């Protein structure tokens, strides 16, 4: 697979930018799209040279197999305005590698590295003014990859489309999250697709999330499919618990999405003086530890929210409160991660890619 593209990316600029200060700095999460998008196609044997065109509709026949059988995967990461005014991507290679793991799981061909990494740099470079300047703002980057054969036979498609869209997003302040452990529906099961990012994993979670919201919670705490005993994720985020001063997160045994935020925290937490451990965490263990006063924090981790402290956990008829405290592990980790992403603190792990 070529490291870089053989030909330059063709760019068709929009005649008039839609950018206004309001759009860049104040948009609701994922509801505004910047001027351009990147498109490429796999024709069954080779990739077309990608092109960047004005953001807009993609005409598609209703027979494309992604719509029928779900060969449709995505990624999510961010570009940050640096304190020197430049723009950098946070760990884009990790998302490139994860996209191709999802592709392999769905019997889709790998996306070439040059297409993904040069493509995203060219796209974000062109729309760099869309990267918010405001503290806590960022440009959310959404690659999508889906099957476009016009065929109803159930088989892996020959042809695919790859696209990247971007969306300016504001700071994601949340009240402490209220979660309820889900006892009926499951997000993932052994041998399933829970460790990949197919569109359908989200679709399949909406009913449970909606029911939790009707009961006054923000989202669900997903439990394991076999016994409904072990905590797996919190909504669409990975989850951490600080128990006896140690940050615990479930191990990547096939039903946990390998989050880049999760992975970054496993590196940063020890640097901040908190031991981090990947191990199974039972819901009963959490309630017992809380009763003993040993569970100090719980938080979700993902690109959209970064770190979202959990304030309430309900399981059946029991409920615990976790009070956010100044200087918490979550707060220190979020501050460190933000400082690295914006260039305020040195990028000692090589996580930033300049655009
Ligand atoms: C994408 C995703 C996450 C978070 O991954 P990041 O790379 O940290 O954004 C967590 N859980 C699920 C189910 C996801 O789809």
Point out the least confidently predicted range of 24-33, 55-64, 202-211: 24-33
Output the pLDDT for position 3. 59
The pLDDT of residue 90: 98
Nearest Cα residue to 75 out of 38, 46, 47? 38
Q: Establish how many alpha carbons lie within 13 A of residue 13's alpha carbon, considering only the half-sphere containing its beta carbon.
A: 7
CA atoms within 13 A on the CB side of 285: 12
Out of 88-102, 141-155, 168-182, pick the least confident. Answer: 168-182
| CB of 307 sitting under 6 A from ligand 1 | no
pLDDT at 285: 98
Q: What is the pLDDT of residues 221-248, one digit of tens each?
A: 999 999 999 999 999 999 999 999 999 9
**Pick from 5-19, 129-143, 276-290, 311-325: least confident:** 5-19
- 95 Cβ closer than 6 Å to some ligand 1 atom: no
Task: Give the separation between CA 153 and CA 166, rounded to whole angstroms.
Answer: 33
Answer whether residue 2 shows pLDDT above 60. no
Please count the CA atoms within 13 angstroms of the CA of 239 that sit on its side-chain side. Answer: 31
pLDDT at 276: 98
Q: Which of 29, 205, 259, 301 gets mutated to test ligand 1 (max ligand atoms within 8 A of its CB)?
A: 259
Q: What's the gap in Å between 233 CA and the centre of ligand 1?
A: 9
Q: Could you tell me the pLDDT band of residue 21, with boundaries at 50, 70 and 90?
A: confident
209 CB within 6 A, ligand 1? no
Q: What is the pLDDT of residues 178-222, one digit of tens each?
A: 999 999 999 999 999 999 999 999 999 999 999 999 999 999 999
> Whole-prediction pTM value?
0.96
Residue with tokens 């452990």: 181
Tokens of 22: 């309001």
| 146 CA to centre of ligand 1 in angstroms | 19
How close is the Cα of 152 to the center of ligand 1, in Å? 31
CA 303 – ligand 1 centroid, Å = 7
pLDDT band at 1 (very low <50, low <70, confident <90, very high): very low
Which atom of ligand 1 lies closest to the CA of 302? 8
Ligand 1 within 6 A of CB of 78: no
Does the CB atom of residue 237 touch ligand 1 within 6 A?
Answer: yes
Reply yes or no on whether the pLDDT at 352 is more than 60.
Answer: yes
Q: How far apart, in Å, do the first and last CA atoms of the chain sit?
A: 22
Centroid of ligand 1 to alpha carbon of 69 (angstroms): 22
Answer whether 73's CB lies under 8 Å from 103's CB. Answer: yes
Ligand 1 in reach of 219 Cβ (< 6 A): no
Q: How confident is the model at residue 269 (pLDDT cuts 50, 70, 90)?
A: very high
Give me 32's structure tokens: 């505004």
> Exposure string (b/e) for 211-234, b if CB count within 10 Å is 16 or more?
ebeeeebbbbbbbbbeeeebbbbb
- To the nearest 10°, the Cα dihedral for 22, 163, 196, 270? -50
Q: pLDDT for 155-176, tens place per residue?
A: 999 999 999 999 999 887 678 9
What is the spatial distance between Cα 211 and Cα 224, in angstroms, rounded to a whole number? 19
Which residue CA neighbors atom 12 of ligand 1 most closely? 236
Q: Which of 120-134, 322-336, 341-355 has the lowest mean pLDDT?
A: 322-336
Cβ–ligand 1 contact at 236 (below 6 Å): yes
Cβ–ligand 1 distance for 260 under 6 Å, the answer yes
The 10 Å CB-count burial string (b at 16+, else e) for 168-183 is bbbebeeebbbbbbbe
């Amino acid at each position: 697979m070529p490291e870089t593209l053989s030909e330059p990316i063709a760019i068709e600029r929009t005649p008039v930018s839609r950018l206004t200060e309001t759009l860049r700095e104040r948009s609701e999460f994922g509801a505004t799209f910047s001027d351009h998008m990147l498109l490429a196609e796999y024709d069954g044997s080779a990739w077309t040279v990608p092109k960047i065109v004005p953001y807009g509709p993609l005409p598609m026949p209703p027979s494309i197999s992604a719509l029928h059988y779900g060969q449709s995967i995505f990624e999510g990461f961010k570009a940050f305005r640096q304190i020197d005014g430049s723009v950098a991507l946070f760990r884009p290679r990790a998302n490139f590698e994860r996209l191709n793991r999802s592709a392999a799981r769905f019997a889709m061909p790998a996306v070439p590295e040059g297409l993904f990494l040069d493509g995203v740099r060219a796209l974000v470079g062109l729309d760099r003014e869309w990267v918010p300047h405001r503290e806590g703002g960022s440009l959310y980057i959404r690659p999508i990859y889906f099957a476009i054969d016009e065929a109803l036979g159930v088989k892996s498609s020959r042809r695919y489309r790859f696209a990247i869209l971007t969306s300016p997003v504001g700071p994601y302040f949340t009240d402490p999250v209220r979660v309820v452990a889900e006892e009926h529906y499951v997000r993932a099961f052994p041998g399933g697709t829970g460790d990949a990012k197919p569109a359908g994993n989200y679709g399949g979670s909406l009913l449970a999330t909606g029911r939790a919201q009707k009961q006054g919670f923000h989202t669900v705490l997903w439990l394991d499919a076999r016994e409904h005993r072990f905590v797996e994720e919190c909504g669409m985020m990975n989850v951490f618990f600080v128990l006896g001063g140690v940050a615990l997160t479930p191990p990547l045994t096939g039903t946990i999405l390998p989050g880049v935020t999760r992975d970054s925290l496993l590196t940063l937490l020890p640097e901040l003086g908190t031991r981090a451990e990947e191990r199974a965490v039972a819901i009963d263990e959490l309630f017992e530890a809380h009763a003993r006063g040993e569970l100090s924090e719980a938080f979700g981790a993902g690109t959209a929210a970064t770190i979202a402290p959990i304030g309430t956990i309900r399981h059946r008829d029991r409920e615990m409160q976790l009070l956010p405290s100044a200087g918490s592990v979550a707060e220190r980790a979020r501050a460190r991660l933000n400082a690295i992403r914006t260039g305020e603190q040195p990028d000692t792990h090589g996580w930033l890619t300049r655009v």
